[in-house]
């Protein structure tokens, strides 16, 4: 088991490198890597400020890279789906509801994350989109819905301290003064 | 062909229906769950409540009070304590968690099964009904939707118009219904961005790809074609709920992308995701320098906006999609619904519910997830039957 944990830490460190890169670029410091057969095949980090698109999370960046790459190589949707099913994701923060749903649509094999995401986590904190859900008995398509194994708490303190330094320096992108939406509308 | 969805029952008039944060029920028909409880000695109450908080916290029943106080004869109170959720094999001690069993033994409790309301009350009437079963706490809603519900005649007409436009987009390719998303600035009634599902592509778009051969070029082409979409004449379209019609609606079948055989596709490019991308690209195009400004400068701009009250940089450039509405032909899936939280959309209007994967009331209900940092108001727009008359097949 020691070597297994060693590998997990190795890949999480690479994900943390991505997160640091985000921090340097004034982005929310979350990073990830996709690993297939023990090799990193894609990495990503938040680009929400740069793109002004709040959906450009680390996972989405890496996913788009892979889809583009595999498509260039002429892989069919089915082949891409097979490749994703062999992928393990290492991400510094629990995937949000959006990313967890995306990962479930792709049918990845497994995910490891650093810190939990108690505001919008989609892998157990708020919703559990990683579990192959049998809550939809009415749907004949539930069978095609795959879950993925998800393990949290890998180097969580490193991930948290990156996020902390970001929020201490202030999110330059957040509306000021920060106030709840109900007062704005 | 009429809509097969029984819920929609072919409305004769246009309607805007608010989809609340939790399922709505008549006060006396609120869903309940079975719990295990026991009468206890008042002197043990504090100790037991503290112990149970540790070993059996009421995770999804935070509105339910742990102790029920009943005055039986001559004002002598009788206390009942909620121990834990009841498992199958009601009442049998075997079904209880070990720690609960220990407590039952050491305090010699005789347990019984009772019902408590599953969801927190949202009105005083609901709360009064709830307390007849077992006491709950009631917090009047903090989320104030007055001002964004309650549509004037003019506003309603605008909502119906944008929804018709959205449905036309969703049904504009021959023989195929997809999802469509239209982001609108309601203050100017201007379309900010619009898009259809790009999970699978057919027709002219597909040809474009084979010509270009590059995914990046392809994305550029899609961005360009988006403009055409916006100017497209409004064809009379329709949406049905029968399965073959919804096959290509990404939010309804988000797991099915791999079964497509067409040459170009992207599993993540649901209509709402693409529309958000377009609106972000528009922001960058209209205000290219904003990111280059130092945070201090930005702050100054914002402050000056505040003083000049209106016609200024910041009032033109909203933060993400703050203040914008989005129209969707279909209730969005969890990925898209959460993307719309991230992008700070103010209101979501959808036409057809999505019982397979919908995240705004059908399978999940993101507008009711209190922990999220942004909440939009959600509405279903019902259009008269003729709008849905099927011209697709």
In tens, the pLDDT along A52-98 reads: 999 999 999 999 999 999 999 999 999 999 999 999 999 999 999 99
Give residues with Cβ within 8 angstroms of B334, minimum separation 6: A97, A98, A100, A101, A122, A127, A129, B357, B359, B363, B364, B366
Do the chains contact at A126 and B335, CB–CB below 8 Å? no
Report the alpha-carbon distance of residue B306 to residue B341 in Å, rounded: 26
In this predicted structure, the answer to whether residue B4 has a pLDDT above a threshold of 50 is no
ipTM > 0.85, yes or no: yes
Mean pLDDT for A136-148 is 56
pLDDT at A148: 94
Nearest CA in chain B to A105: B255
pLDDT band at B7 (very low <50, low <70, confident <90, very high): very low
Pick the residue with more confidence: B218 or B22? B22
pLDDT of residue A143: 44
Q: How many CA atoms lie within 13 A of B325 on its CB side?
A: 28
> Given this model, what pLDDT does residue B349 score?
97
The answer to whether residue A55 neighbours chain B at the CB level (below 8 Å) is yes
Interchain pair A67, B267: CB under 8 A: yes
- Higher-confidence position of B41 and B312: B41
Q: Annotate B162-188 with three-state secondary structure.
A: HHHHHHHHHCCCCCCCCCEEEEEECCC
**Whether residue B134 has pLDDT greater than 90:** yes
CA distance B129 to B43: 29
* CB-based burial, B57-82: b 16+ in 10 Å, e otherwise: ebeebebbbbbbeeeeeeeeeebbbb
Q: Which chain B residues contact residue A184 at CB under 8 A?
A: 322-323
Secondary structure class of A133 (helix, strand, coil): coil
Q: Which domains, from first to last, does chain B contain? A: 32-133 (3.30.70), 143-202+244-288+317-392 (3.40.140.10)
Q: Which of A97, A176, A184, A119 is nearest to B143 (CA)?
A: A184
| B342/A185 Cβ within 8 A | no
Q: What is the tens place of the pLDDT at every residue in B157-183? A: 999 999 999 999 998 876 678 999 999
- What whole-number distance in Å separates Cα of residue B161 and Cα of residue B153? 12
For residues A11 and A28, the answer to whether their CB atoms sit within 8 Å is no
User: For the whole prediction, is pTM greater than 0.90?
Assistant: no
Of B268, B299, B369, the CB nearest to A102: B268
Measure the CA–CA gap between A68 and B219, rounded to whole angstroms.
10
Please state, in angstroms and as integers, the Cα–Cα distance from residue B12 to each residue in B5, B8, B9, B206, following that order. Answer: 15, 11, 9, 38
Right CATH number for A4-133+141-167 from 3.40.50.280, 3.40.140.10, 3.40.50.300, 3.90.1150.10? 3.40.140.10
For the cut 60, the answer to whether the pLDDT of residue B144 exceeds it is: no
**Per-residue confidence band for B140, with pLDDT thresholds at 50, 70 and 90:** low
Tell me which chain B residues have a C-beta less than 8 angstroms from the C-beta of A67.
215, 266-268
Computed on alpha carbons and rounded to an integer, the radius of gyration of chain A in Å comes to 17
Give yes or no for residue B147 having a pLDDT over 90.
no
Q: What is the pLDDT of residue B172?
A: 82
A59 is annotated as an active-site residue: yes
**What is the chain A residue with the closest CA to B279?**
A53
C-beta of residue B145 within 8 angstroms of C-beta of residue B375: no
Q: Using a CB-CB distance cutoff of 8 angstroms, which residues of chain B are in contact with residue A78?
A: 258-259
Name residues 133-162 of chain A within 8 A of B (Cβ): 135-136, 138-139, 141, 144-146
pLDDT confidence tier of residue B151, bands split at 50, 70 and 90: confident
Q: Which residues of B264-277 are buried (b: 16+ CB within 10 A; e: fewer)?
A: bbbbbbbbbbbbbb
Average pLDDT over residues B132-152: 70
Q: Give the pLDDT mean for B206-228.
A: 38
Range of A82-91, B78-87, B227-236, B250-259 with top mean pLDDT: A82-91
Span B62-76, pLDDT tens digits: 889 999 988 877 777
Q: Is the pLDDT of residue B24 over 80?
A: no
pLDDT above 70 (res B212): no
pLDDT, averaged across chain A:
87
Residue B30 has pLDDT above 90, yes or no: no
Q: What is the pLDDT of residue B88?
A: 63
pLDDT band at B53 (very low <50, low <70, confident <90, very high): confident
Model confidence pLDDT, tens digit, residues B90-105: 555 556 888 898 999 9
Q: pLDDT tens digits for B369-388?
A: 888 989 999 999 998 754 55
pLDDT at B235: 31
Helix (H, G, I), strand (E, B) or coil at B278: helix
Name the minimum distance, in Å, from the CA of A79 to any CA of chain B. Answer: 8
Question: Which strands form A110-115's sheet, in the order they lie side by side?
Answer: A39-45, A31-36, A87-93, A110-115, A149-151
User: Which of residues B313 and B2 earns the better pLDDT score?
Assistant: B313
* Residue B293: predicted pLDDT: 53
Contact A144 B255 (CB under 8 A): yes
Look at B268 and A184 and tell me if their CB atoms are within 8 Å: no
> What value does the mean pLDDT of chain B take?
77
Between B234 and B44, the more confident residue is B44
B258 phi and psi, to 5 degrees?
-70, -15
Instruction: Please give the Cα distance from A95 to A4 (Å, whole number).
Output: 22
């Amino acid at each position: 088991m020691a070597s297994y944990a060693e590998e997990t830490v190795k890949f999480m460190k690479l994900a943390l490198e991505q997160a640091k890169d985000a921090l340097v670029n004034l982005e929310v410091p979350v990073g990830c890597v996709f690993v297939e057969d023990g090799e990193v095949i894609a990495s990503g980090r938040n680009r929400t400020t740069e793109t002004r698109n709040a959906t450009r999370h680390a996972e989405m960046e890496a996913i788009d890279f892979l889809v583009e790459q595999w498509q260039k190589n002429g892989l069919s949707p089915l082949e891409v789906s097979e490749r994703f099913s062999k992928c393990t994701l290492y991400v510094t923060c629990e995937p949000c509801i959006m990313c967890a749903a995306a990962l479930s649509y792709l049918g990845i094999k497994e995910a490891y994350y650093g810190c939990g995401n108690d505001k919008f986590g989609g892998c157990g904190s708020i919703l559990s989109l990683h579990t192959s859900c049998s809550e939809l008995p009415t749907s004949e398509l539930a069978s095609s819905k795959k879950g993925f194994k998800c393990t949290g708490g890998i180097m969580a303190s490193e991930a948290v301290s990156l996020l902390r330094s970001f929020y201490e320096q202030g999110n330059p992108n957040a509306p000021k003064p920060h106030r709840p939406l109900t007062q704005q509308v | 062909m009429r809509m097969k969805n029984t819920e929609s029952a072919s409305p004769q008039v246009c309607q805007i229906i608010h989809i609340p944060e939790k399922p709505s029920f008549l006060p006396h028909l609120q869903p309940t769950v079975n719990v295990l409880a026991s009468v206890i000695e008042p002197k043990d109450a504090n100790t037991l409540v503290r112990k149970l908080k540790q070993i059996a916290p009421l995770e999804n029943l935070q509105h339910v009070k742990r102790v029920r106080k009943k005055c039986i004869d001559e004002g002598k109170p009788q206390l009942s304590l909620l121990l834990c959720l009841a498992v199958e094999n009601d009442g049998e001690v075997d079904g209880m968690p070990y720690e609960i069993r220990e407590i039952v033994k050491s305090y010699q409790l005789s347990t019984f099964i009772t019902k408590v309301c599953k969801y927190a009350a949202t009105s005083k009437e609901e709360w009064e009904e709830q307390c007849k079963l077992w006491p709950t706490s009631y917090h009047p809603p903090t989320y104030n939707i007055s001002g964004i519900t309650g549509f004037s005649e003019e506003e309603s007409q605008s909502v119906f118009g944008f929804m018709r436009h959205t449905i036309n987009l969703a049904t504009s390719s021959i023989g195929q219904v997809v999802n469509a998303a239209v982001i609108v600035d309601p203050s100017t009634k201007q379309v900010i961005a619009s898009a259809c599902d790009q999970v699978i592509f057919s027709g002219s778009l597909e040809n474009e790809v084979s010509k270009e051969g590059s995914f990046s070029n392809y994305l550029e082409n899609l961005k360009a074609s988006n403009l055409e979409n916006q100017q497209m004449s409004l064809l009379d379209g329709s949406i049905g709920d029968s399965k073959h019609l919804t096959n290509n609606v990404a939010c309804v079948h988000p797991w099915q992308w791999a079964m497509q055989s067409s040459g170009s596709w992207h599993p993540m490019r649901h209509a709402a995701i693409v529309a958000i991308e377009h609106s972000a690209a528009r922001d960058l195009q209209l205000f290219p320098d904003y990111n280059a400004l130092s945070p201090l400068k930005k702050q100054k701009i914002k402050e000056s906006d505040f003083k000049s009250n209106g016609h200024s940089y910041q009032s033109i450039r909203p933060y993400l999609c703050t203040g914008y509405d989005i129209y969707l032909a279909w209730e969005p899936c969890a990925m898209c619904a959460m993307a719309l939280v991230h992008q700070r959309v103010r209101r979501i209007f959808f036409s057809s519910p999505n019982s397979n994967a919908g995240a705004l009331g059908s399978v999940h209900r993101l507008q009711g997830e209190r922990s999220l940092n942004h909440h939009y108001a959600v509405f279903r727009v019902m259009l008269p039957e003729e709008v849905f008359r099927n011209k697709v097949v």
